[in-house]
Structure 1
Amino acid sequence: MKCFRANPRTAGILERLAHPSTRATISDICELTGTAGLSLGVIHGGEVIHQSHFGYRDVDKKVGPNANSTYHVGSMSKAMVAASFASLVHKGKLSWSTPLKELVPEYADPATVTRLAELKSEANIEDLLAMRTGLPTANGLWVQQCQQLLVPKTETARIFGLLEPQHKFRLKMSYCNWSYALAGEILERLAGSSLEQSTKGLRYDRLGLGTTTFGDPAEDNHVTAYMTLTDRSPLAVPCPPLRSGRLLAAAGAAESSLTDLLTYYKALLKAAADQKESGKTETEGSPFFDVQYLWGPRAVINEHSHYGLGWVVTELPGQGGLVGVNSYESPRGLPTIAKGIPEPVQLVYHNGAMAGALSAVYLLPETQTGIVVLSNTFALCDAPDWIAQFLVEASQNARTHHVNTRKILAEERTLGAKPRELSKYVGRYYNSIGNFYLDVAVHGDNGLRMTTQGYPFVHYDLSHYHYDVFAGDCDRDAETRRTIYPQWSPNFHRISSHQLQISLCKRLFKVCYRGYVAVGLLTGGARIFDGYSASEK
């Protein structure tokens, strides 16, 4: 643990952070969630006042993390990309309202078909960064198992155009990593360099950051990635696959250390305060531009929170973690942070989550306070988020979701409803633009195996559920051993790799649930896969 000498303003918070009960609570959260290694730091009054480290960056070697250990930060990358766009807007390279059709060649092509018509008309870069297009998450189109990227980067614009809206355009925030995938490619074109070089040139070099990268990190002092089994033991898994030059890098490829991130967020808080006071969009010597715009209400999340550009913004008392794992993982819902404070306080935050990593950053601009929590484990719940909230005020955890999901699936099954002959389901099934396919074959005596994009290790073994519906078992540990990103919502399980429902419909291999006709494995509930067999192509 490393602490810093505090001025009188920070003495109280420093005393609370250094209290043995604080470290004990954080250690308990790590133990209960099965978090292998974790680093945290606190900024207050614009100064770094506290750092602590827990567990191991490498469990087998019993080596702990330190302030310079490099972690995957997942979707905390989004705010970094949005800030890079703010730099380009400041330089006049584009405006927030520049239409995508002027930035994406595919959307200027009359032959390109998009399910969201606005992509070829009024949609702009701000719509991407605020994730307010109404398009679905569709994470299964880029990764499913074993950290294998499923499509090349060149397909980004076409796949994004293929997604079918689940909400009206600009109605609300609809979390979609593909929005940032496309934004990253636009950033590369405008900056004339790779995502790694463009982000470094726009900001990182000016802050003197030594470990932060969207590219290949240094192997020395890099954390090992883990996922947690239900007995709370860590299982080493391949590192997250996102990198500059690959698919979806702008959505979550950044890696950094506690030292770098504390420097980064300290500079961001300082620029935000200066620009708010001056009314200007720049701060002398700072790489951050128009921070108040980045934190402004660009898309509604709920009545209390909005999404800016790469950030969630709300007021305390209120809920955090709305874009993190705990938002859907917690059976009792999210806690209210900072109950009883005398007046509302602005909270700006974001979570990061990938198979093998969880992270969180919480900022309280009014007091120049920042909390950064990094871990190398996709644990039984989102420990960095709970710890960040605990360091603001509160913490919780949950562990029993898969048991509940199995119970619901069993209750909703229609017994005695028989399938067709298994051979009727066999074939290769493409999406409507031919850049994504599923192979279905008979497997064993009474089952099917569905393989994605020709990767033999990315497959799902299915047994009959009812009627024309087949199901894969919902076993968290089995999924963890194949590096499958966990999902606990019963509805998601029914249409995802955790609980596939496959139906024969007009000779098309599809997944059906409550009116949706979709490959839920790819969508989480929105229709984006109009399959057809190879013989029909």
Structure 2
Amino acid sequence: MVEPKLIAARLADVTNVIARSICNISGVAGMSVGVVHHGEVIYTDNLGTRHVNRDEPSWVPTSKTIYNIGSISKSFAAAAIGRLFHDSDHVDWYTPVEEILQDFQPADKRLRGLLATSDFMSHRSGLFGDLSLALQGDFEFLLPRQELVRTVGQLETIAPFRQSWHYNNWGYSVVGEIIEELSGRDFGDYLDETVIGPLNLSDTTSRPNFGDAHDFADAHFSLRDGTCYPAPRRYYFKDSLFEAAAGIYSNVDEMLQWGLAILRAESNPDTSPLRHMQISTLVSNQIPLDNPSHDFRFYGMGWIRTQLPGVVGLQGDNPELLELHELPVLGAGGPSMLTYYHQSSAPGYYSAIFLFPETESVVVVMTNSMPLNDAADWIIQAYISALFNFPTTADYVELAERSGKSKLQKSDEVLKRMREIRDNHPHDKPLPASTYVGTYVNSIKNFHIEILEGPTGPGHPQDTRHLEMRFQGRESQRYQLRHLYGQVYEWAVDFDEAAKRGRAVIWDPEYFLVHFTLGADGSRANALSWAAFTDVRPGGIIMHRDDDREGNGRVVEESSFSIGGMLRNVCCSLLGRFVGEL
């Protein structure tokens, strides 16, 4: 067995050269890493800062610094519900969700009586995971938790049931509701009692302490020049739509303990505090990540299971930034190795965890930035390569540079497309703003958009009053609408504005088009559609005018229209992915 000190030296080289460079290139404020090998912690280290405006040594992160772990939270929720199903005589992984949550009914009648918890947990429901009605930036949830079950019931079917993998954060939100229904307990309380408490994970929680003296990594967002923009405030997920899906906070020390507990619960369940959590089921093959599957890439429940050598990081952003053939083969030239992993991308936090059963190894990377690429993915692959001393190692710094440029280019293409459309209609003038002003609601009337007439704003292409769109009517959720042609407006935002508002980058131009439909006499719009995705939902979300909710439709004119000003006025809780993309 290789001397742990030699391995630690290789890992330190990664920190000092590769990880540091990737953080600088990608706009990562702070990073923490930890490695367990043969069941023992052999390395931890940290880079950067917990907050870019604090450069004192005390603000350098440590292995005890608290980060949001985003979608890695799913592995905790999966263990918790595994315990409930183990203890139950009347429900299990395949019990239809309608039999547990009485208010749940899929709009797609073909799924009724079939859609089970395991389908949500393995992302094989075939339902669209778009979060447009829940998250639009500025660290706010747009729907109360009470609307979760109804909203999930209305999700569109985009793939055959149980035939393909489509990541869907909503499903794990449903898992949280099921946990509360079956246990009779609050999700956080049940998690503490059955999972976190028995492992003595004292800093792992969905209810973090945000006190100034606490060792906490603040969220940041990379601007296009790689500088880090700090979030205007701290946020958390307690009692929100996505507490179970992405709401847990932890640190490197305890995530290493968590990974090791998962490995030992699988290999020797009789002596594990997690022995009733059905860990072997959670890390088993439930659905291939690609269909038809030609390799060993599968999703379980809260974990991806794959074999090295192979391409990893498929749950994160980098496969969207580079072609599949451009992605590195982790472990190239080395022996076959089984690994379980998961990634996370939440507003201001990207992280990753890998487990290796054969060597009882765990690698964790946590960052406090939404970067120009999935930096945590590139960084953790570099550490894994050093840990096992793979004969062939990718140039992860170069991959970070290339993927970062790709993200900016994709974002810029959206604005370029808007200019092209507008240039193709040089003489097309909008109808009076009063034609469109009003309130529009979705089919189940839990989400509305206010269209208002506002003062001329920067960048508006015509000398007329522009329109303004407000999600759920909130001042903090306002976006300028600019006329394109006919009855079509657009609200595309540039990269830095999206970052400062905590938005995940969307690079389908169709998403940012608002199509108004005029009534029979042509004097007033009676519907609009928005949030289209070219390949998945080309018709967008259709919303109809609601005269019962009409206001006067006029925005109070302000002296400035600044993103910073809007951020300072934010007063509600959370997010923007995304998750995801959460």
User: Where on the TM-score scale, by shorter chain, does this alignment land: which range?
Assistant: 0.7 to 0.9
| 1:433 aligns to 2:444 (yes or no) | yes
3-state DSSP of counterpart to 2:238: coil
Select the residue among 83, 87, 92 that pairs with 1:91: 87
Give distance in 1, aligned partners of 2:257 and 2:16. Answer: 23
| 8 Å contact kept, 1:36–1:226 | yes
Which residue of structure 1 aligns with residue 426 of structure 2? Answer: 416
Give distance in 1, aligned partners of 2:516 and 2:167. Answer: 27
How far did 1:50 drift?
0.7
3-state DSSP of counterpart to 1:374: strand
In the alignment, structure 1 segments of 5+ residues that lack a partner are 1-6, 275-281, 512-517
- CA 1:240–1:119 in 2, change beyond 3 Å: closer, same or farther? farther
Question: Aligned letter for 2:82?
Answer: A
Matches within 5 A, 1:386-535: 386-393=378-385, 394=394, 395=396, 396-397=399-400, 398-399=404-405, 400-401=408-409, 402-411=411-420, 414-416=424-426, 418=428, 420-421=430-431, 422-443=433-454, 444=456, 445-487=464-506, 489=507, 491=508, 493-495=509-511, 499-504=512-517, 507-511=525-529, 519-520=531-532, 525=537, 529-535=541-547
Select the residue among 43, 64, 68 that pairs with 2:64: 68
How far did 1:338 drift?
2.6
How far did 1:468 drift?
2.4
Give distance in 2, aligned partners of 1:104 and 1:334. Answer: 44
- CA 1:315–1:409 in 2, change beyond 3 Å: closer, same or farther? farther
Which residue of structure 1 aligns with residue 28 of structure 2? Answer: 35
Question: Aligned letter for 2:92?
Answer: S
CA root-mean-square deviation? 2.5
How far did 1:368 drift?
1.8
- CA 1:293–1:508 in 2, change beyond 3 Å: closer, same or farther? farther
How far did 1:375 drift?
0.8
3-state DSSP of counterpart to 1:67: coil
| 8 Å contact kept, 2:309–2:334 | no
- CA 1:261–1:417 in 2, change beyond 3 Å: closer, same or farther? farther
TM-score in terms of structure 2 length: 0.81
How far did 1:260 drift?
0.9
Which residue of structure 2 aligns with residue 222 of structure 1? Answer: 216
| 8 Å contact kept, 1:136–1:166 | yes
- CA 1:312–1:261 in 2, change beyond 3 Å: closer, same or farther? same
Question: Aligned letter for 2:450?
Answer: D
Which residue of structure 1 aligns with residue 246 of structure 2? Answer: 252
3-state DSSP of counterpart to 2:542: coil
Give distance in 2, aligned partners of 1:33 and 1:81. Answer: 30
Select the residue among 270, 274, 277 that pairs with 1:283: 270
Give distance in 2, aligned partners of 1:159 and 1:240. Answer: 27
Give distance in 1, aligned partners of 2:108 and 2:47. Answer: 46
- CA 1:332–1:71 in 2, change beyond 3 Å: closer, same or farther? same
Question: Aligned letter for 2:487?
Answer: D
3-state DSSP of counterpart to 1:97: coil
Give distance in 2, aligned partners of 1:509 and 1:390. Answer: 51
| 1:17 aligns to 2:11 (yes or no) | yes
Relative contact order higher in (CA < 8 Å, ≥ 6 apart) = 2
Give distance in 1, aligned partners of 2:331 and 2:195. Answer: 37
Which residue of structure 1 aligns with residue 301 of structure 2? Answer: 309
Residue deviations 1:290-336, cap 9 Å, x none?
A: 32211222123212422110112222222222221223234787523
Matches within 5 A, 1:30-179: 30-62=23-55, 63-92=59-88, 94-107=91-104, 114-179=106-171
Deviates more, 1:120-129 or 1:420-429: 420-429
| 1:232 aligns to 2:226 (yes or no) | yes
| 8 Å contact kept, 2:418–2:484 | no
3-state DSSP of counterpart to 1:346: strand
- CA 1:338–1:148 in 2, change beyond 3 Å: closer, same or farther? closer
Which residue of structure 1 aligns with residue 580 of structure 2? Answer: none
| 8 Å contact kept, 1:148–1:241 | no
| 8 Å contact kept, 1:119–1:161 | no
Question: Aligned letter for 1:83?
Answer: A
Q: Percent identity?
A: 27
How far did 1:285 drift?
3.1
Which residue of structure 1 aligns with residue 286 of structure 2? Answer: 298
| 8 Å contact kept, 1:355–1:378 | yes
Question: Aligned letter for 1:204?
Answer: I
Residue deviations 1:244-290, cap 9 Å, x none?
A: 3222211100000111111111111122233xxxxxxx331331533
3-state DSSP of counterpart to 2:43: strand
Give distance in 1, aligned partners of 2:158 and 2:80. Answer: 29
Residue deviations 1:370-415, cap 9 Å, x none?
A: 2111111111112111101122234222233323333344456633
Which residue of structure 2 aligns with residue 204 of structure 1? Answer: 196
In the alignment, structure 2 segments of 5+ residues that lack a partner are 386-393, 457-463, 520-524, 550-582
TM-score in terms of structure 1 length: 0.88
Give distance in 1, aligned partners of 2:538 and 2:492. Answer: 22
